[in-house]
């Protein structure tokens, strides 16, 4: 297959591109900066996520498009300017991509577009699935607008899959290294109140879900990209401490986090208990359905490299 990937140099995208190439697909990565390909089946094309250009030729020839474009959510305090960047990097890039899909002579078979479980907003203990309603807050509104842009591709005969992603775990990148650091210094513990839910997924399963979605023709709409076993923050940190052979004893006050990070701090002090109902009902088999084996696999791989 010819597969176009936006955001293909990021934490998830880079690993996805390698997997797709190793599986025999021809991959075109749309990127703001050109990179040297590490695989002969990978080609990089420049785009600024705002302007038309030669990259449209790759979209016109694609059998699938995976849209992972967007500035990282948790890289800085949510000032007004930062929020604008988070919104525009997702909405404008997706809009431009769908506009290119609209000009194809034949419908694009499938668009896999990123979203987040922030769609559901802060929640209590209620288990959420893909049928759960839109929640409240900045991330909910951002996710809804992002999804709406991707869903426009359906008007042009494209099957659209929206990956509502939870906390993606891997040794390098994402939230896990930041969580591990205080544990390694014997100062680890949960973010209070500790009862908030963490819906997580190993990066290998996130990539596996993308590949499965590409090849599952009856799958469309939102798909929760989370493992089947969400954990409370207390339980998550207990297991992390166990795997690292460190105590989980020094809780982080939620108030201090909010004072330090502002509205961004709500990412850690609130959560959602999300289940991957459509993935499980559709037959996807998780490599890491539970947390402890997932963390052990990550840390074991780290020791071997």
Query: What are the pLDDT digits (tens) for 63-104?
Result: 999 999 999 998 888 999 999 999 999 999 999 999 999 999
Rounded Cα–Cα distance for residues 251 and 228 (Å): 26
Model-level pTM greater than 0.85?
Answer: yes
Q: State the residue for tokens 């939870």.
A: 166
Residue 118 has pLDDT above 70, yes or no: yes
Q: Which residues pair with 64 in a beta bridge?
A: 3
pLDDT band at 305 (very low <50, low <70, confident <90, very high): very low
Domains of the chain are 2-304 (3.40.50.720)
DSSP string, 96-147: HHHHHHHT-SS--SEEEEEEEGGGG-SB-S-EE-TTSPP--SHHHHHHHHHH
Contacts of 81 (CB under 8 A, 6+ apart): none
Query: What are the pLDDT digits (tens) for 174-198?
Result: 999 989 999 999 999 999 999 999 9
Query: What are the pLDDT digits (tens) for 213-251?
Result: 999 999 999 999 999 999 999 999 999 999 999 999 999
Rounded Cα–Cα distance for residues 44 and 219 (Å): 28
Strand locations in the chain, DSSP E? 2-6, 26-31, 42-46, 64-67, 110-116, 127-128, 159-165, 167-169, 197-198, 200-202, 221-225, 231-232, 273-274
């Amino acid at each position: 297959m010819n597969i176009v990937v936006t955001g293909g140099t990021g934490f998830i995208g880079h690993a996805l591109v390698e997997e797709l190439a190793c599986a025999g697909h021809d991959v075109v990565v749309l990127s703001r900066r050109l990179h040297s390909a590490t695989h002969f089946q990978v080609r990089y094309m420049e785009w600024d996520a705002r302007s038309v250009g030669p990259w449209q030729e790759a979209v016109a020839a694609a059998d699938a498009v995976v849209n992972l474009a967007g500035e990282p959510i948790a890289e800085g305090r949510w000032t007004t300017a930062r929020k604008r960047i988070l919104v525009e990097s997702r909405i404008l890039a997706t809009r431009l991509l769908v506009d290119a899909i609209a000009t194809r002579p034949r419908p694009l078979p499938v668009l896999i577009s990123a979203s987040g479980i922030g769609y559901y907003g802060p929640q209590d203990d209620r288990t959420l699935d893909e049928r759960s309603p839109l929640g409240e807050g900045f991330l909910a509104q951002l996710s809804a607008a992002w999804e709406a842009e991707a869903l426009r591709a359906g008007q042009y005969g494209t099957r659209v899959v929206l990956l509502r992603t939870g906390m993606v775990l891997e040794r390098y990148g994402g939230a896990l290294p930041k969580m591990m650091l205080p544990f390694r210094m014997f100062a680890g513990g949960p973010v209070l109140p500790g009862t908030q839910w963490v819906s997580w997924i190993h990066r290998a399963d996130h990539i596996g879900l993308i590949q499965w979605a590409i090849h599952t023709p009856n799958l469309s709409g939102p798909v929760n990209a989370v493992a089947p076993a969400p954990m409370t923050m207390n339980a998550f940190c207990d297991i992390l401490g166990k795997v690292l052979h460190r105590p989980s004893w020094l809780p982080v006050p939620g108030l201090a986090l909010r004072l330090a990070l502002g509205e961004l701090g709500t990412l850690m002090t609130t959560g959602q208990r999300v289940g991957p109902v459509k993935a499980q009902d559709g037959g996807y088999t998780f490599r890491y359905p539970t947390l402890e084996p997932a963390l052990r696999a990550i840390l074991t791989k780290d020791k071997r490299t």
